Structure 1
Amino acid sequence: MEAAPGWRTVCPSGHPVRGWLGPARCASCAAAVPTAVHADAGPLPPTPSTASYGPAAPLLAGVTALLCATLAVATGIRPELAVWLLIAPVGVLLAVVDRRVQRLPDPLTLPLAPTALALLGVAALLPEHAGDWTTALLGSLALSAGYLVLHLINPGGMGFGDVKLALGAGAALGWYGWATVMLGTFAGFLLGALYGGALVVARKAGRGTTIPFGPFLLAGAFVGLLIGAYAA
């Protein structure tokens, strides 16, 4: 299996990348690339392959909108819906980053759990909510502790970034109870196992191949949260 690309600090032309959140375009490239002149149309814009170096945003925006719409249908007009709509885009971004470079950046994983718990604390004070804040806190700690054990047993198979991400996922799942925590956790491992098995069958991976688990952790949390919200 081809190794994931490294964490990008410069654009393909060597210009420093200032920040990693936002459009994957290099302003220096766009300004420095000479423009060609067409007899009828005038100057042509810089070559997109030189100025752009990341995935197109419309696809990610569409996926995020679809996930948010699905959560809205399952949750209804309960106050915790605002929390899900705020953290869902962060989950999509984390899944994409981990899939491409096999890293879960601390600026997103570390604030996720306290932010989710703070917002859920506000939701718990509002009428018509369908969860429990204490279980959200305990679910966050329990899920992260479980992933920490797996990390200590096999650091190569379970990264510490997944341990930190589990804090936020456990908070969201725990809001709807322990059954939702267990369901979301099982779904994540099941999806990861199915993906790994498919790679082996397709001969694109072997026994020693490592795959980023963050996308499956997040996908499992989404499945659990969706079912938990619908059943609440």
Structure 2
Amino acid sequence: MEWSLPAFLLLAVLGVQLARIDLAHHLLPNPLVLTLLMAGLALLFLGSFAAAQWAELLRAAAGGAILFVVFLILALISPNGIGMGDVKLAAPVGLYLGYLGWGQLFYGGALGFVLGGILSVVLIRLKHANLRSEVAFGPSMLAAALGTVLLAS
């Protein structure tokens, strides 16, 4: 993972900013999400080139596409459940998790839903939200991704 470290540092830095913005404004800015995706892809490409690990890069691209499509389907089925910002964020999250492996992609993606559910229950119990309230899902996705990255290394 040493050649891919700059890419994962970018995920940590931009992930914190995206989570902060999503919590405050229920918004995931396209320029930041696109930067996370494109710069991450470029840095993972350089890491794969330096370490001659092309399979990881192909798996990363497939992971980004798979998670994006899964979130898009969920958003189309339940438009009030997942926002389009979360759908767009699924592509870079899938890219990074896919680079680590198929298991990390699956468990990191699923853990985002678990963390989002826990956060929702806690907010409802503390009376900061009700069943109709919008709860930012981006921070849960990013926390799950960062946790998965840390556990995978």
- What TM-score does the superposition give when structure 2 sets the normalisation length? 0.93
1:152 to 76, 93, 103: 76
Which residue identity is paired with 1:197?
A: V
Q: Residue 130 of structure 1 contacts residue 176 of structure 1 at CA under 8 Å; is this kept in 2?
A: no
1:84 equivalent in alignment to 2:17: no
1:122 matched residue in structure 2: 46
1:139 to 29, 40, 63: 63
Q: Residue 131 of structure 1 contacts residue 177 of structure 1 at CA under 8 Å; is this kept in 2?
A: no
2:98 matched residue in structure 1: 174
Q: Residue 185 of structure 1 contacts residue 221 of structure 1 at CA under 8 Å; is this kept in 2?
A: yes
Please give the alpha-carbon distance, in whole angstroms, between the structure 1 residues aligned to 2:18 and 2:42: 20
Structure with the greater alpha carbon radius of gyration: 1
Q: Residue 7 of structure 2 contacts residue 39 of structure 2 at CA under 8 Å; is this kept in 1?
A: no
Instruction: Please give the secondary structure, in 2, of the residue aligned with 1:175.
Output: helix
- What TM-score does the superposition give when structure 1 sets the normalisation length? 0.62
Instruction: Please give the secondary structure, in 1, of the residue aligned with 2:50.
Output: coil
Q: Larger relative contact order (C-alpha < 8 A, sep ≥ 6)? A: 2
2:117 to 193, 204, 226: 193
**Sequence identity percentage:** 35
Question: Are the structure 2 counterparts of residues 98 and 162 from structure 1 closer, same or farther at C-alpha, using a change threshold of 3 Å?
Answer: same
Unpaired runs of at least 5, structure 1: 1-74
Which residue identity is paired with 2:46?
A: V
1:11 matched residue in structure 2: none
1:212 to 128, 136, 143: 136
Q: Residue 109 of structure 2 contacts residue 141 of structure 2 at CA under 8 Å; is this kept in 1?
A: yes
Please give the alpha-carbon distance, in whole angstroms, between the structure 1 residues aligned to 2:54 and 2:108: 18
Number of residue pairs the alignment of both structures matches: 153
Which residue identity is paired with 1:97?
A: I
1:128 is displaced (CA, Å) by 8.2
Unpaired runs of at least 5, structure 2: none
1:224 matched residue in structure 2: 148
Q: Residue 113 of structure 2 contacts residue 140 of structure 2 at CA under 8 Å; is this kept in 1?
A: yes
Please give the alpha-carbon distance, in whole angstroms, between the structure 2 residues aligned to 1:109 and 1:127: 26
Which residue identity is paired with 1:124?
A: S
Please give the alpha-carbon distance, in whole angstroms, between the structure 2 residues aligned to 1:183 and 1:202: 28
1:193 is displaced (CA, Å) by 0.7
Which residue identity is paired with 2:61?
A: L
